[in-house]
Amino acid sequence: MKLKIAVLAGDGIGPEIMEQGVVVMSAVAQKFGHEVSYKEALCGAHAIDEVGDPFPEETFQTCMEADAVLFASVGDPKFDNDPTAKVRPEQGLLAMRKKLGLYANVRPVETFDCLIHKSPLKNEIVSGANFVCIRELTGGMYFGEKKEGTEEAYDTNYYSRPEVERILRVAYQYARQRRKHLTVVDKANVLASSRLWRKVAQNMMGEYPDVTTDFMYVDNASMRMIQDPRFFDVMVTENTFGDILTDEGSCITGSMGLLPSASTGEHTPVFEPIHGSWPQGKGLNIANPLAQILSVAMLYEYFDLKEEGALIRKAVNASLDANVRTPEIQVEGAPKYGTREVGRWIVDYIKNN
């Protein structure tokens, strides 16, 4: 297969982990005879500094012309501490989501047995937890009508029926391929927008008789996620709830540096780690490249290249088992590996297996 990849490395540790994502992508391509070409483009703080726009038109065009976008991370503390800043790196991310029509954000929450001790929860509660959160990504309060005055301010949690329908369809497709259990998370006891979600889901569930659909209020879901994460298989929810719940989900596994994500929709899909740009780790060769590398696995799988994805997952597991790990997950006393060294080990494994 021929694949054109737009490479958006962004800020902080982004360029370092991206480098490892790309070498792994190339090693797999070589092994399976795929032709992959890469085109780098600016985004985030980096792009603000260079051209004054966190998601420049040229980057948008590069994304539109590509088959997939491999994205790392954006953000810079100099913007966080400046409330008067007119543009922020995060706006680039939101612009990318909107302009590429990336309405479905897929965030798997998976535990790795050898890292389970890193979870803040009891091991017997999290062991074996494996679910996917499907977060609606281009609607709700993030993009609804806003007012930002000095005396009053609001954000509108707007959803239309077609927006809800299309994300529910994505969620049902995932549920069908997994354990056939979909939980629709909302706040229908209070919010009108949530009642629309619930009505649409109730109308649609008859079309998926093989999937068990249940409904859960978001406050209850946030509790259930830490009490009994194995309850969940596929969870679907609106943009803001999904933002909050996926951070919760990422930390229950104890390994935020290992979780990839995919965003799909109307145009080019985007694959990225769920963690941020970790400015403190920048340039130190200590950032964990595994979430970026697993994002490459999700990219291959999106194009139905299952063996390619599986080999990357196998290589990642093997690196963990061999204790080839970056400092934050390394076991006591074992040598700590850098970002590059972990990437190189995985590339070698791919070549030899």
User: What is the dihedral sign for C-alpha 260, 104, 54, 25?
Assistant: positive
Is 210 catalytic? The answer is no
Is 219 catalytic? The answer is yes
Residue nearest to Mn ion as judged by C-beta position: 243
Binding mask 188-227 for ligand IPM (x = CB under 6 A): ----------------------------------------
Is 313 exposed, middle or buried (CB count within 10 Å of its CB: 0-12, 13-18, 19+)?
middle
Q: Encoding tokens for residue 77?
A: 């503390």
Instruction: Name the one range near ligand IPM by CB under 6 A: 87-95, 116-124, 159-167, 321-329.
Output: 87-95
Q: Give residue 53's Cα distance to chain centre.
A: 23
Closer to Mn ion by CB, 164 or 259: give it.
Answer: 259
User: How many binding residues for Mn ion (CB under 5 A)?
Assistant: 1
Is 142 catalytic? The answer is yes
C-alpha 187/C-alpha 193 separation (Å) is 8
Q: 235-264: which residues touch ligand IPM (CB under 6 A)?
A: 243
Is 187 catalytic? The answer is yes
C-alpha 307/C-alpha 11 separation (Å) is 31
Instruction: Name the one range near ligand IPM by CB under 6 A: 89-97, 164-172, 312-320, 322-330.
Output: 89-97
C-alpha 120/C-alpha 346 separation (Å) is 28
At 207 the three-state DSSP class reads: helix
Instruction: Name the one range near Mn ion by CB under 5 A: 64-72, 127-135, 235-243, 251-259.
Output: 235-243
Helical (H) or strand (E) element with 130:
strand 130-136
CB of 137 to ligand IPM, least distance (A): 7
| Active-site annotation holder among 82, 113, 214, 247 | 247
Residue nearest to ligand IPM as judged by C-beta position: 90
Cβ atoms of 264 and 104 closer than 8 Å: yes
Is 314 catalytic? The answer is no
Closer to Mn ion by CB, 5 or 298: give it.
Answer: 298
Question: Which residue's entry shows tokens 């239309």?
Answer: 160
Binding mask 92-111 for ligand IPM (x = CB under 6 A): -xx-----------------
C-alpha 131/C-alpha 110 separation (Å) is 7
**Who contacts 276 (Cβ-Cβ below 8 Å, separation ≥6)?**
12, 73, 75
Strands 104-110 and 260-264: antiparallel
Closer to ligand IPM by CB, 110 or 243: give it.
Answer: 243
User: How many binding residues for ligand IPM (CB under 6 A)?
Assistant: 4
Cβ atoms of 131 and 229 closer than 8 Å: yes
Rule CB under 5 A: choose which of 67, 90, 155, 243 binds Mn ion: 243
Chain positions contacting Mn ion, by CB under 5 A: 243
Chain positions contacting ligand IPM, by CB under 6 A: 90, 93-94, 243
Annotated catalytic residues are 142, 187, 219, 243, 247
